[in-house]
Amino acid sequence: MFKHMLVPLDGSTLAEAALPAAAYLARQTGASTTLIHLIEQHPPDAVHGERHLTTTDDALGYLNDVSTRFFSPDYPVESHVHTNRVSDVPVSIADHAQELGSDLIVMCVHGRSGIHRWLAGSIAQQVIKHGVASILLIQPASSGEVPPFTCERLRVALGGNPEHEKGLELAIELAAACSADLHLLTVVPTLGTLPEERAETGKLLPGAMSALLEMSEEDAQRYLDEQEERAAAGGVAATSAVGRGDPSDVIVQVGASVQADIIVLGTHGRAGMDAFWSGSVAPKVAGKSRSPLLLVKANG
């Protein structure tokens, strides 16, 4: 289970949306936590309408205050301010995760240069590429308030690829630690939602493709049955379902319908943003879902 969590904060109330999740997971898993603030080379005057922390004393005071407000004194929390001004925040966070031995980064999905593209994109890509930590992306409340967090309902999206099953391994451990309900989901496309490379075949041979997709749905359910047995071997009872349609849409819809506390996805982290996102549902889910999203680096 998690041993060390890293929580990047910029001093804004919006970024603090990550803190209830970090505090909850610290209690449930016993993980230690480091709160970090990076001093930027060319910082803006304000972040999300609030004063930007640009000095070491201000940042350290803020982190210590946050630690007192959100974390029980029974759990170890360190405050760290990186004083050497950085130009690339995502890379610096990834480097700190590696240096500190963090196995989970908890952060709010927001950013000056584009909400999902910047944080759910650049930082996630850099961290997954480094292979140092999983990433829990928290959506801020629309009201701007810091939302509460619990982990009673875990939903794991599986694509049938053994390389992505590290996400399931982690979800089983997390479900056991939190006594959470575990539901497994895989999605088989319809004729209208086939990926581009298969869509042309679907148009030319719709009957054959429909039959093939029906067979795929049966295979998917057998695969999920095997994964339920795997969860049971880990001491966790799981349920499962096969969805039909666009994977990202179905994952988001299922997460919303059951009010999932966390959606778990396995993903790759090859060098280069195009390679990281290519063929992946992760950025699409991050862009559509209000549920927290746990990205776990795939094996292989």
Encoded tokens for 99: 């240096």
**Whole-number Cα distances in Å, 266 to 72, 173, 224, 287, 299:** 31, 15, 15, 16, 9
- Please report which confidence band the pLDDT of residue 91 belongs to, taking 50, 70 and 90 as the band edges: confident
274, pLDDT greater than 60:
no
Topology of domain 4-138, CATH:
Rossmann fold (3.40.50)
Contact 133, 103 (CB under 8 A): yes
Residue 33 CA to residue 67 CA, distance in Å, equals 10
3-state helix, strand, coil in the chain (%, to 5): 45, 25, 30
CB neighbour class for 226 (10 Å; exposed up to 12, middle 13-18, buried from 19): exposed
**What pLDDT score does 46 carry?**
54
- Return phi, psi of residue 124, to 5°: -60, -45
- Please report which confidence band the pLDDT of residue 247 belongs to, taking 50, 70 and 90 as the band edges: confident
Segment 184-216, tens digit of pLDDT = 998 888 766 666 655 555 444 444 445 556 657
**Residues 6+ away with beta carbon under 8 Å from 294:** 134, 135, 136, 137, 167, 170, 171, 262, 263, 264, 265
**What pLDDT score does 245 carry?**
84
**What pLDDT score does 19 carry?**
95
160, pLDDT greater than 60:
yes
Position of tokens 């016993």? 30
Radius of gyration of the chain (CA): 20
- Please report which confidence band the pLDDT of residue 269 belongs to, taking 50, 70 and 90 as the band edges: low
Indicate the domain borders of the chain: 4-138, 153-297
List the single range of 30-44, 52-66, 93-107, 115-129 with lowest mean pLDDT: 115-129
273, pLDDT greater than 60:
no
Strand partners, 138: 108
Q: Where are the beta strands (DSSP E) in 28-145?
A: 32-40, 46-47, 50-51, 77-86, 104-108, 134-138
Note whether 4-138 and 153-297 share their fold. yes
Residue 5 CA to residue 15 CA, distance in Å, equals 15
Among the ranges 150-159, 206-215, 260-269, which has the highest mean pLDDT value? 150-159
**What pLDDT score does 78 carry?**
95
Residue-averaged pLDDT of the chain: 79
CATH number of 153-297: 3.40.50.12370
**What pLDDT score does 194 carry?**
62
- Return phi, psi of residue 120, to 5°: -75, -10
